Structure 1
Amino acid sequence: MEGGRLAHGRASGRARSADGTLQLDFRLPAELGGEGGGTTPEQLFAAGYAASFHATLSVLARETGADPAALTVTVTVAVGPDPAGAGSVLRTEIAVAWPGVGDVRRLVERAKTLCPYAKLG
């Protein structure tokens, strides 16, 4: 991250990819005492996770003959206390809506073994 500062253990500043195609302002959320008005690391992680999981399910759709056009993947990410007592951990929740597909649960479970984001931690 370029030009960042640390506020309450959270980064506020500007993030930029090496090629310049991604440029974001990170801000501590207002509910945590920050100024708000920017992206949080959790939002960015959720977007990447959802895109990767959607792509994985789309590959599985081609293998099974399912139509990925109606597939929706929503990922919610939050920071919570580490059960081991060592700081914090990310908590994720995946919701998949796929109308017209009978065995969505089986495909989601298979996707969890293939998607690189689902393999974290």
Structure 2
Amino acid sequence: MFRIAGNAVTRPLSARVMQGAAGRYTRYPNKLHARGILTLKDHLYFSKATASGAGRNGNVTSTGDAPLDLKLAMPKVAGGKGDGQNPEQLFAMGYSACFLGALQLQGARAGKKEMTDKAKVHATVFLGHPMDPDLEGFGLRVELTVEGVPDDALIQAAHDFCPYSRALKHGIDVKITKA
């Protein structure tokens, strides 16, 4: 389940594939398992962002506690100028921070707080073409590397708890409306 390299533990999440708006599926050798959608009974916090301009070469702003305004740009390797951030960077930043928070919470609950205090979580988000020839466009693959925590059970507990991991594992409720 986990690959260990030196003092880092890697948990690849590369087997997940989004299959249209109808649901979430995970590919395992010779099997295709349907996934349900995780729904919320309430919400404790919400974040709001607005994209404008030329899409991936436009602008994105977030309002709230600490407003953020970023210029977006396609990476050079994807044919863009590379002079701004891209959604994959933002997703990697959010996922790594969220997973680290989940890891530290699970460490504290397990009486292993000192083990997770100096941990680092590295997220690599890959943008590419889906293996399924029937899916147009692009897909994502995520690899998380947990540094400084040798406890597989603790890492799994964080993966089970982290909202980003849950969204990728169980699906996410998405509603699209017109303004």
**Which of 117, 121, 129 is matched with 1:81 structurally?**
129
SS in 1 for 2:164: coil
What is the distance in 2 between the residues matched to 1:106 and 1:3? 42
Matches within 5 A, 1:53-64: 53-64=99-110
Aligned-residue RMSD, C-alpha: 1.7
* Matched length: 114
Q: Which runs of 4+ in 1 moved over 4 A?
A: none
The Cα of 1:75 is off from its aligned counterpart by 0.4
Residue of structure 2 in register with 1:116 after alignment? 163
TM-score using structure 2 length: 0.58
Cα displacement (A) at 1:4: 2.0
What TM-score, normalized by structure 1, do the two folds share? 0.84
* Paired residue secondary structure (1:119): helix
Does 1:70 find its partner at 2:115?
Answer: no
Q: Higher relative contact order at CA 8 Å, sep ≥6: structure 1 or structure 2?
A: 2
**Identical-residue share of aligned pairs (%):** 32
**Structure 2 unaligned blocks of 5 or more:** 1-49, 169-179
The runs of 5 or more residues in structure 1 that have no matched partner are none
Kindly tell me: are residues 61 and 32 of structure 1, through their superposed partners in 2, closer, same or farther at Cα, counting changes over 3 Å?
Answer: same
Q: Taking structure 1 as reference, are residues 61 and 5 closer, same or farther at Cα in structure 2, changes over 3 Å only?
A: same
CA distance in structure 1 between the aligned counterparts of 2:78 and 2:150, rounded to whole angstroms: 42
